[in-house]
Chains A and B, each alone.
Chain A
Amino acid sequence: MGDVNEVVIIGSGPAGLTAAIYAARAGLEPLVIEGYGAGGQLMITTDVENYPGFPDGVEGPEVMQLFRRQAERFGTRFITADVSRVDFSQRPYRVWVGDDEHAGNAVIVSTGASAKWLGIEGEQRMMGRGVSACATCDGFFFKDKPVVVVGGGDTAMEEAIYLTRMCESVTIVHRRHEFRASAIMAKRALENPKISVRWNSVVEDVEGDQVVTGVKVRDTETGVEDVIPAAAMFVAIGHQPNTSLFEGLLDMDDEGYLVTAPDSTYTNVAGVFACGDVQDTVYRQAVTAAGSGCMAAIDAERWLEAQEAGAHDHAGASASAD
């Protein structure tokens, strides 16, 4: 085991990097294990229009580059790899990247969330051959072709609107009778002449052998099945928290989100803090993730100070007893 870090931060989206900026400025020299998915979900977001301070919008990867530079400026150290396991049973806590062990007096978990898949057979089979979770990556391959977007949230709207730039038409398949997307995004999608919607519909299968030729959907009210001709299916049905590393170690809810004490970033393990989408079942915005990252750094700093003060008190007590 090498030197013990004051703070180890796992994850490098808006939450992890904001925690790093605050922890670094507090002189804690944080170690960020940023992961191969460094930058988090904003890395696959083209236009970010709701992050304050960017009145003309900003590209996701660009804003994350700025976050990282700011964290680096105050002495944050980075490891670009994924954490393979953790041990929170004794202090200092230990975090492994392969065989490399890193110890931290406090750990901030900001591993975020990943796109969910439908979990149907055809989806897996046609992955990379017309099934995608990233319109900005793969829309390019379906110029002037009809495509399907599955989902009803902001991500689905954003993907559908983006795809209208190059695709012939976009059909949004949504299992309910209204979108849960924000009003402005839903309006933009519904008013777009290239976008049509299949309400109350679920995807049954993906048709096609070498390439996708259509998406089979079932109307949940009538039970009628039919195939929407499409060259691609983009899945945007929400996210799941990246918490498999912490199973059995940190308290989670039924969906796997880390549970934090009210109005704080404290997990059930003292000295382990959680921030960002990994513990946010409500807001899940870049700005709220950044806000909770700041909270985690402040919580960690105060907790470390209290430990230190406690250790001194203890040392003083034993000295006087002697």
Chain B
Amino acid sequence: MADVIEITSDTFQGLVLESEKPVLVDFWAPWCGPCRMIAPVIEEIARDREDIVVGKVNVDDAPGIAQQYGIQGIPFIGLFQGGQLVKNAVGAMPRAGIEQALGLS
């Protein structure tokens, strides 16, 4: 029962890399249609799952983070664990697809 947390360049280190729980990060942008399409799915995951933290990074505001992880396509949904990007899914897909790609099913 949680909301999707807004993550910025300033808070990425603390909220994602130093998090005790795994963090699902949705890299998105306002001009990306598929990102808008999957936004409700990400919110649903945030609401339903207690085992992870769910956040989003606007790549328009934080291009540095996207670059650091070699992101060249959005929506890019990454799972961070112990400060590392361990798994990811690219492109709009149903919830089951995202959870499967991230090893969360």
Is the CB–CB distance between B72 and A44 below 8 Å?
no
Q: How many A-B residue pairs have CB under 8 A?
A: 76
Task: Name the CB-closest residue of A to B76.
Answer: A128
Q: Residues of A contacting B59 with CB < 8 Å? A: 140
Q: Which of B31, B41, B66 contacts A36 (CB under 8 A)?
A: B41
Q: Is chain B's binding surface mostly helix, strand, loop or mixed?
A: loop
| A134: interface (CB < 8 Å) | yes
- Asked if A45 and B72 make an inter-chain contact with CB atoms under 8 angstroms apart, the answer reads no
Stretch at the interface among B9-17, B18-26, B47-55, B86-94: B86-94
Q: Are B37 and A129 in contact (CB under 8 A)?
A: no
The distance from the CB of B78 to the nearest CB of chain A, in whole angstroms, is 11
- Encode A110-145 as 1/0 by CB contact (under 8 A) with B: 000000000000000001111110101110111000
Chain A residues contacting B90 (CB-CB under 8 Å) are: 127-128
Determine which of B32, B75, B91, B94 lies in contact with A136 in the assembled complex, contact meaning CB atoms within 8 Å: B32
Residue among A134, A137, A141 with the highest chain B CB neighbour number at 10 A: A137
Q: Which residues of A have CB within 8 Å of B32?
A: 134, 136-137
**Quick check: A60 and B72 within 8 Å, CB to CB?**
no
A36 near B73 with CB under 8 A, answer no
Number of interface residues of A (CB under 8 A): 29
Determine if A43 is an interface residue (Cβ-Cβ < 8 Å): yes
Contacts of B75 in A (CB 8 A): 137
Q: Which A-B residue pairs are the 6 nearest by beta carbons?
A: A128-B90, A44-B33, A128-B73, A43-B33, A137-B32, A141-B72
Which residues on A are within 8 Å of B, measured CB to CB? Answer: 36-39, 43-46, 60-61, 80-82, 127-132, 134, 136-138, 140-142, 210-211, 232
Besides A36-B93, A37-B92, A44-B34, 17 new A-B residue pairs in contact (Cβ under 8 A), listed by A number? A36-B94, A36-B95, A44-B33, A44-B37, A61-B33, A61-B36, A80-B40, A81-B94, A128-B73, A128-B91, A129-B70, A132-B73, A134-B33, A137-B73, A141-B66, A142-B72, A211-B70
10 A-B interface contacts by CB (under 8 A) = A36-B37, A44-B34, A45-B33, A128-B72, A128-B76, A128-B91, A136-B33, A141-B66, A141-B71, A211-B72
Residue ranges of B at the interface with A (Cβ–Cβ < 8 Å) = 29, 31-38, 40-41, 59-60, 66, 70-76, 90-95
